Structure 1
Amino acid sequence: MADNEFGYTAWGMDWVRLAEPLRQTRPDPLLPRARSIARNNGVRATVEGQVVRATIHRGGQASVTQVEVAPMSRTAVTAIAGFVPDPPVPTDDVHRAISAAGISLAPVLAGTDCSCAARKTRCVHLLAVFYEMARRVDEDPRLGLAILGYFAAAPQDSDESAPATRWTPISALDSRRFFTTTPR
């Protein structure tokens, strides 16, 4: 596994699997370009909590890509705490032990967005971000846990709390009250 350019640790391979899912039956023509962009430092990514914001420069074009990762459940955080009390660097053995316990450490995407003109769910920019994150997580496996919300989870958190809504559904608006004015 050490011959892999991206995902040479089990922690980074979870991000590579987002770009190269095992269920894929035919080659994706975007993958070589995405690997090239990530390899040549074309991705400038910042991680803020569970959101990765990246700017990708390729030729004369620039795109802004955002990837949101769903937080781990409180039960998963509690279960992982038994395997990862607070080591300086989580190893592949720790990853295998957690996976053997039935806990998935693969990031689950809550949402993605890209400003490119492709308007596809999987554009070359998004794939390049996956490879860049795989490279970063290979270098620092704690980032793999941090982006899942492992270190930010407080003991008083629970699974019953609803996540903050990003959008107001149109069905939640009352058209009779929305377009009326209040008397002055």
Structure 2
Amino acid sequence: MIAEHGVTAWGHAWLRTVEPTRVTRPNPSLPRARNLARGDGITDLTMAPGLLTAGSGQYRVRIEIPLWPAEPAALAAKLLADLPPSLVLGDLPDSLAAELRAHDIDIAPPPEELTPHCDCRDRRPLCVHVLAALYALVQAVDERPALAVELRGVTATTTDPDWIPVSELSVAGFYG
């Protein structure tokens, strides 16, 4: 079976936030949360440094994510600066994730460090809607690994010197 969540080292780190390995019993909400994330159950997924917001049906989810402290953030920024610009346009090598872990820098925080808020009546902090939003985040991080470090407060994107915005292209000259 092909994994659909956590296929990159970056997404896998965030998947461990949703599915921690140190649990003593399975979470019965996880299959429903995966189905919500897999289908159209999560809408308006918005990410900013330290914050994830999403909609899940009639409920709004807001998850505050702790930023890296100054020292880990500086080290992560230095490691990112050493990468070629073409790699930092959204895709990050898994070797960088391994290097961060080697320096004891957690790519994703443990679940107890998140501050989730949901409009639903479930009393658990990680209700099915919050879990679904986190699964959607894992998918987004798998597609664009730079989100993993941007959520923790380090800018990972640079502009490629060879990149030209489409709006600046002359249609006549391009198709001419």
Opposite residue 6 of structure 2, the aligned amino acid is G
Opposite residue 127 of structure 1, the aligned amino acid is L
Q: Which of these residues, 62, 65, 70, is aligned with residue 61 of structure 2?
A: 65
Opposite residue 52 of structure 1, the aligned amino acid is L
Quote the Cα distance in structure 1 between the aligned partners of 2:71 and 2:151: 17
Residue 129, structure 1, aligned to residue 133, structure 2: yes
Opposite residue 138 of structure 2, the aligned amino acid is A
Residue 114, structure 1, aligned to residue 114, structure 2: no
Q: Which of these residues, 140, 144, 149, is aligned with residue 144 of structure 2?
A: 140
Deviation at 1:51, TM superposition (A): 1.0
- The question of whether the paired residues in 1 share the 8 Å contact of 2:53 and 2:60 is answered with yes
Partner in structure 2 of residue 102 of structure 1: 104
- The question of whether the paired residues in 1 share the 8 Å contact of 2:55 and 2:61 is answered with yes
- The question of whether the paired residues in 1 share the 8 Å contact of 2:5 and 2:138 is answered with yes
Partner in structure 2 of residue 30 of structure 1: 29
Residue 91, structure 1, aligned to residue 93, structure 2: yes
Quote the Cα distance in structure 1 between the aligned partners of 2:47 and 2:103: 28
Q: Which has the higher contact order (CA 8 A, sep 6+)?
A: 2
Quote the Cα distance in structure 1 between the aligned partners of 2:75 and 2:94: 17
Q: Which of these residues, 58, 70, 74, is aligned with residue 74 of structure 1?
A: 70
1:147-158 paired onto structure 2 within 5 Å: 147-151=151-155
Paired residue secondary structure (1:71): coil
Quote the Cα distance in structure 1 between the aligned partners of 2:114 and 2:31: 25
Partner in structure 1 of residue 11 of structure 2: 12
Deviation at 1:117, TM superposition (A): 1.1
Quote the Cα distance in structure 2 between the aligned partners of 1:119 and 1:110: 16
Name the one with the larger helix percent: 2
Which 5+ residue runs of structure 1 have no aligned equivalent? Answer: 153-184
Query: How big is each residue's C-alpha offset from its partner over 1:39-95, in whole Å with a ceiling of 9 and x where there is no partner?
Result: 0021111113321111102xxxx1111001111111111112332215422111110
Partner in structure 2 of residue 39 of structure 1: 38
Root mean square deviation, CA, Å? 1.7
Q: TM-score under structure 2 normalisation?
A: 0.77
Quote the Cα distance in structure 2 between the aligned partners of 1:144 and 1:126: 18
Give the total of aligned pairs.
147
Q: TM-score under structure 1 normalisation?
A: 0.74
Which 5+ residue runs of structure 2 have no aligned equivalent? Answer: 157-176
